[in-house]
Structure 1
């Protein structure tokens, strides 16, 4: 339940259009609902603006179905991250209203809780190479499902930097930019030197042996010479999108 729905419920009680018992029924799992395998924070979006999200990598399909079904009963938006295709097919047989992105490895069901028109600007998601697309797509889909207008700019890494220079209008029209890159992780520094908006860098676990599973990119981004660049954890497209959403919600 978000702030607008809670405000509407309390207004209906105040006007006498909803009894206290009816209101309590709506709020019976406030602030959380305990289940066998989870404790669902139904009111997280009320506090933070971002709903609880299901991390699916270590969960069975049955656990994801149970948690998602409980969230749907409260008309909460549902996102499930790190869902492989086999698990997704199982879940979709039970919850066919969901949509699955194989690139992002995400399942989502998006009610009208978040409307893009209420947002103030565009989140631009950039990735250095095609190998970084899965992380970039996790960021793009998360930002979109949270209600942000999203543009994508893929395969514009520093090995062919002219590809990025040809897209400066898109860079400068963004409110927040997410940059996913592996190898040496240089691209966020380049972008950070070209724009005035916040840049969120996402190191990816892409690269040869000395990339150490993304640690080289992470250290490169943490040592960026460009001001205004923040860094999230390796492969954390979801976290980058949540940060972008928080920035985009500022007055």
Structure 2
């Protein structure tokens, strides 16, 4: 992978697209760059196909600004998760084109187009309260280069709503099922489709839901085949995995 990146860099220098000084800087930071408060993994896109994503929760805002500033120099798309509004305002000061996705709590900066396959990912929720986690999956999948269809508020308490949207769900290459309470949606969807289902338990529910633990255990014990389970509220993980499956 490093050899491929070197060849690409040399070709760009040869064609005059990259100055020699800039090429030397890129070579120096090819595996990762240590900026003191973080070691940014610029080699990740070569290894995994996608650039490193910034997880904002718990990070100092000034540190996030430093990381974004350095990543902007590479010209890659930037995806930052679990970002509150104040983090976005700080990022926007150094990157005016940054976009904030309030429901998903995500910041995106689009610097280059990513190839998008003809197939799509369906994101399905049990209720409206599950939408923030679902939107985290949607924004992630879209930034990684995927078409996404949303099917929201089709939980098992009103099964006719799910059946009324079955065409959209069954035509997807992979399905993300997001639900709280008892998390039964993933099992129902898994029993109706011949596609992989990524189940995402949410922390939505009353006391015995145990902040999503009940939904997590229900999904892990699903009797439907082809259901894989993400961590509680992990819409990002589901969007990332769905992208990998959609692009196989």
TM-score normalised by structure 1 residue count: 0.91
For the Cα contact (< 8 Å) 1:65–1:95, is it kept in 2?
A: no
Q: 1:83-122, aligned counterparts within 5 Å? A: 83-116=83-116, 119-122=117-120
Asked if residue 236 in structure 1 is aligned to residue 234 in structure 2, the reply is yes
Partner SS, residue 75 of structure 1: coil
Residues 79-114 of structure 1, C-alpha deviations (whole Å, 9 max, x = no match): 110011232223223321100011000001122241
Moved over 4 A (4+): 1-7, 12-22
Structure 1, 4-13 or 195-204: larger mean CA deviation = 4-13
Cα separation, 1, equivalents of 2:142 and 2:64: 21
For the Cα contact (< 8 Å) 2:65–2:90, is it kept in 1?
A: no
CA RMSD across the alignment: 2.3
Give 1:168's aligned residue.
166
Number of residue equivalences: 248
Give 2:30's aligned residue.
30
For the Cα contact (< 8 Å) 2:29–2:42, is it kept in 1?
A: yes
Q: 1:192-211, aligned counterparts within 5 Å? A: 192-211=190-209
Can you give the 5+ residue segments of structure 2 that lack an aligned partner in the other structure?
none
Give 1:226's aligned residue.
224
Partner SS, residue 27 of structure 1: helix
1:180 to 169, 178, 181: 178
For the Cα contact (< 8 Å) 2:104–2:133, is it kept in 1?
A: yes
For the Cα contact (< 8 Å) 1:2–1:45, is it kept in 2?
A: no
Can you give the 5+ residue segments of structure 1 that lack an aligned partner in the other structure?
none
Cα separation, 2, equivalents of 1:106 and 1:29: 27
